[in-house]
Structure 1
Amino acid sequence: MEIVKARTDKREYKRIVLPNALQCAASMNVSVGYFSDPDGLEGLAHFLGSLFFFLFSFFFFLFVVFLKHGGSTNAYTASDHTNYHFDVNSDCFEDALDRFQFFIKPLMSADATMREIKAVDSENQKNLLSDVWRINQLQKHLSEEGHPYHKFSTGNWDTLEVQPKEKGLDTRLELIKLYEENYSANLMNLVIYAKESLDKIQSLVEDKFQEIRNNDRSCFSFPGQPCSSEHLQILVRTVPIKQGHKLRIVWPITPGILHYKEGPCRYLGHLIGHEGEGSLFYVLKTLGWATKLSAGEGDGTTEFSFFTVVINLTDAGHEHMQDVVGLLFKYIHLLQQSGVCKWIFDEAREPSEREC
């Protein structure tokens, strides 16, 4: 497989496949997300990710020493994957990588399980006071109930402790089952970024990660769209936690990753979100209706995605909300009539190449 680099990228890359099928091109990506949560155990995949993150943080010199070596570590659970990552000073990298192999045989004790259920619930309590999380869950609620996108993704005390007990389920055993059935090496990708030679990095990876078992698990597939006609062309008004007015317009779209070379969402996001003279935002700001505008793709998989425009409105802009929406669609119509402009396409592409 050819590794495509940006024109300005002078770094070296090497892709290897271990005997257990773990792919290497430090960040570990597991192709299991909250879409794989069992019925009645919403948030289990996120809970497993949270527990693993705790185990790694705890065992890396009790985390305190890790931070003293200029390190940081985190994890997140998305719809179809879970990611664990860390960074640390180069002189401590091999030790950190050694502890990063907890995927081989994690210790999921009853005490650690209960501790993390409480931690997940605490995180959810914090999210309840976040407008971003509240809107995100509202958007999920306004989708097909039978589609996994509709799920409550993060979990809380009720979904991970109360409801399972009522059904006679042991959350810890279900957690172990999720891990043993789905955390298979062929569904995991490891990326290492270090100053060592490629051969040295390969040797480290082969030494530390080839013991991860390979169940030859098939990749998860979640066909179908989360939104049908009944979920489109609707207006929802919400009362935010923070003061202010935000207008969100969301379109279900074909995932941009299927057209990554052309980058249609990047192109449209660049133009709709532009702040220069003559842009949509420039007009809205001149009218005194908006203070910020962003546009782009997000919250999707390889099967579906969404393109979202978010406009921070002034009080006057809130009073003229329909006019704001009208200007947005007029601008979109203008872009449709104008077609793709090559120099704008190249301009939008350059930042993404520099980020490689």
Structure 2
Amino acid sequence: MIEPLLNCKDAELTHNTQKATPVVLSTRLRLARNLLGTPFPERASLAQRSDILSKCSDHLSGLGKMKKGSFFEISELSDLEKQVLVERHLISRELCESQQGSGVYINKAQTCSVMINEEDHLRIQFLKTGFHLKNVWKQIDRFDTELEEHLDIAYDSEFGYLTACPTNLGTGLRASVMMHLPGLVLSDQMERVIRAVNQLGITVRGLFGEGSDATGHVFQISNQQTLGEQEGDIIDRLGNVLKTVIDHEVNARFKCLEDSRSKVLDQIGRAYGVLRNAHVVNSAEAMNMLSLLRLAVDFEMLPESNRAEIDRFFIECQPGHIQHATKSEIEPDERDVCRAKKLREELGSLPALDFDKLADLT
């Protein structure tokens, strides 16, 4: 059912060839919106939820951004299909567990997905590879404006946009950036950075959001406050914090090279060898070793042209994607064998690591 989506060669997070920054993997902005005079999804009856789903999906289909997009009712997707969409960051784990009358509309390039009847009637999110907070904000703001021309959205002059959870009141905006931070992790500075940004109203989560692990040294960093602050101010404040985190990450990488050069190079070399030769690799191992290969690209030990391929594996080596590729739900041990085979085949053409390049960087 989701095969056309997965086979799309224009997908932003899996087939984007634009140059990403060394530290930032992707940018994601999400808006929470609700229809005026209609109960929030958890309080709505099945008939009301179905009516909301039909009404919202009809309006979304008429928007230019959704041309040639795909609509899925969650109740009609298998557990495996839902898992794949979560791994692509196109739906939330909460939507997977929702009642009947929920769905998602995803545009062809997978840069925009709109969840219907998750916690709120509409959860609109825009994605883009790299560090593009202001650019993505302009896109989602235009989309939101166009959507409000067709739907009556619940808004209060004092509290702003009304949402099911009070933490989303006001702008309803959650801006986040996926960051690759091996330097801070390897130098044992990550906990200190997390504490510092938390004091600034910024939260740090793992790869798949709240409650998930930061495998592959990948973290989601986002704003917490949505009330009492304009959208532009939220974007600017988060952007300034993230630029500081990027500076600390770059400094930490060079500090690691100064203090533990042989250890860092050994870790990169071992990851390179294992990914190209191993016959059993679990998802956590794959993520952590792919992180080291991405670091090798940052250190110019591998060509920049390999970055997009490595970033794609961060998603395609997840359990759901491995199972979907085999057309069956397989046990973890068999998944680990299939994952290793995929990595051997697709990374077999990588050039040799150029350790001499580090002499120019340090």
Q: Which band: TM-score by shorter chain?
A: under 0.3
Select the structure that is richer in helix. 2
Q: TM-score, normalised by structure 2?
A: 0.26
When Rg is computed on C-alpha atoms for both structures, the one with the higher figure is 1
